Amino acid sequence: MSLDHPSHQMQPAVTPPASPHAPWKPSIVAELAKVVANTAVNAEYRHLVVDCSEVAASAQPGQFFQLLCPHPAGEQPFLRRPMSLYGADPATRQVEFLYKVTGAGTRGLDMIKSGEHLDIMGPLGTGFTLDPKWRHIVAVGRGAGLATLAPLAKAAKASGTKVTAIFSARRPELLVSVDLFKEHGAEVVPVTDSEQTSGPGNVERILRGLIAQDKCDAFFTCGSSRLMRVQQRLAIEFGLPGQVAMEQQMACGIGLCYCCVRDFNVGGEIVNRRVCWDGPVFDLLEALP
């Protein structure tokens, strides 16, 4: 097994190491951020907005933060919790997250009131890359993956790229990011389990339609291995590029501990990469479910 560090075609998400002679500046920070809002958006997801530094607010789509969560009663989450970036605004110096309360860490996040402080660390990892040559991209997400894809809507609009988003959830009322994508001019195709539209067969049919209409110069996906495999097949069949944001249990979040490694298929060879540092966004065709 090769453990070689990948050579990314993607832009590095963080600045290269400063020359030791230049004044040193951090490009990743851990800081106490003031919580502006922490409110429910539906039965499952909560929206967290914090005021932060210029460095943190410079986060790019697909990057993530590590949040040091308060301890809920009777529980002691020790590690930070990785959280996809839902939005970042350098002008207002804010970052946003969308989370579902599932464990000790998110139960702690749930307790924070606006005006209180939260220790955030970021921006972390390598995010999505938008090629200005692409005229129309497709974003396919499910569950928490919809939050991860959200910042793409704004970035694509800024680069003049059209977006069609296929968003999958168990029930229509659990879909998130739909309004945000529509606000930025994207077309959203919701598919749900309750309406029996979310199966890989139907998603493939929709994707083939988009490809036929010349509306798919690249795939962006997060949150479903089944949907990722559909896109991998179509990417090979039609020679299309793609990027996938992946998840893995993390400890440090900055490439030190090697607990979040995954296998990738690089030209037929299986290589081991750190999701936190080499990703979380990877080449669609190299990703293994």
Partner 1 sequence: MIKPFSIDLSVDVGGLKLRNPVMPASGTFAEGLDKVIDFNRLGAFVTKTVTRELRAGNPLPRVVERPGSLINAIGIPSKGVPHFIEKIIPQYAAYEPPLVVSISAPTAEGFASLAAELTLPGVSAIEANISCPNIEEDGKAFAMRPESAEKVTRQLRAATKLPLWVKLTPNTGDIAEVARATEAAGADAVVVANTFLSMAIDLKTFKPCLGNVMGGLSGPAIKPIVLRQVFQCAKAIKIPVIGCGGISTAEDAIEYMLAGASAVQVGTATFLQPAAMISVIDGIEMFCLQREISRVTDLVHGVVIEEADDQDLAWLSPPT
Binding site for partner 1 (CB under 8 A): 1, 3-4, 14-15, 17-20, 24, 26-30, 68, 76-80, 121, 248-249, 251-259, 261, 272, 277
Q: How far is the CB of 16 from partner 1 (least distance, A)?
A: 9
Strand 64-68 with 81-84, pairing: antiparallel
- Distance between CA atoms of 148 and 86, rounded to whole angstroms? 6
Q: How far is the CB of 18 from partner 1 (least distance, A)?
A: 8
- For residue 3, the 8-state DSSP code is -
Amino acid type, 162: K
Give whichever of 24 and 268 is closer to partner 1, judged by the CB atom: 24
Task: Write the burial class of residue 61 (CB in 10 Å: 0-12 exposed, 13-18 middle, 19+ buried).
Answer: buried
Give whichever of 212 and 270 is closer to partner 1, judged by the CB atom: 270
Give whichever of 11 and 213 is closer to partner 1, judged by the CB atom: 11
Comparing CA positions, the residue from 29, 46, 30 lying closest to residue 38 is 46
Give whichever of 37 and 257 is closer to partner 1, judged by the CB atom: 257
Task: Quote the tokens at residue 5.
Answer: 């560090």
Q: How far is the CB of 32 from partner 1 (least distance, A)?
A: 11
Q: How far is the CB of 252 from partner 1 (least distance, A)?
A: 4
Q: How far is the CB of 249 from partner 1 (least distance, A)?
A: 6
Give whichever of 36 and 79 is closer to partner 1, judged by the CB atom: 79
Q: How far is the CB of 231 from partner 1 (least distance, A)?
A: 25
Give whichever of 28 and 101 is closer to partner 1, judged by the CB atom: 28
Q: What is the DSSP string of 167-197?
A: EEESSGGG--SHHHHHHTT-EEEEEETTTT-
Q: How far is the CB of 54 from partner 1 (least distance, A)?
A: 15
- Distance between CA atoms of 256 and 258, rounded to whole angstroms? 6
Q: How far is the CB of 259 from partner 1 (least distance, A)?
A: 4
Contact 203, 168 (CB under 8 A): yes
Measured over all CA atoms, what is the biggest interatomic distance in the chain, rounded to whole angstroms?
61
- Distance between CA atoms of 195 and 49, rounded to whole angstroms? 32
Secondary structure E strands in 111-229:
117-124, 136-142, 162-169, 187-192, 218-222
CA distances from 18 to 14, 22, 23, 27, 126 (A): 11, 7, 8, 10, 18
Task: Quote the tokens at residue 38.
Answer: 């922490």
Give whichever of 166 and 278 is closer to partner 1, judged by the CB atom: 278
Give whichever of 32 and 111 is closer to partner 1, judged by the CB atom: 32
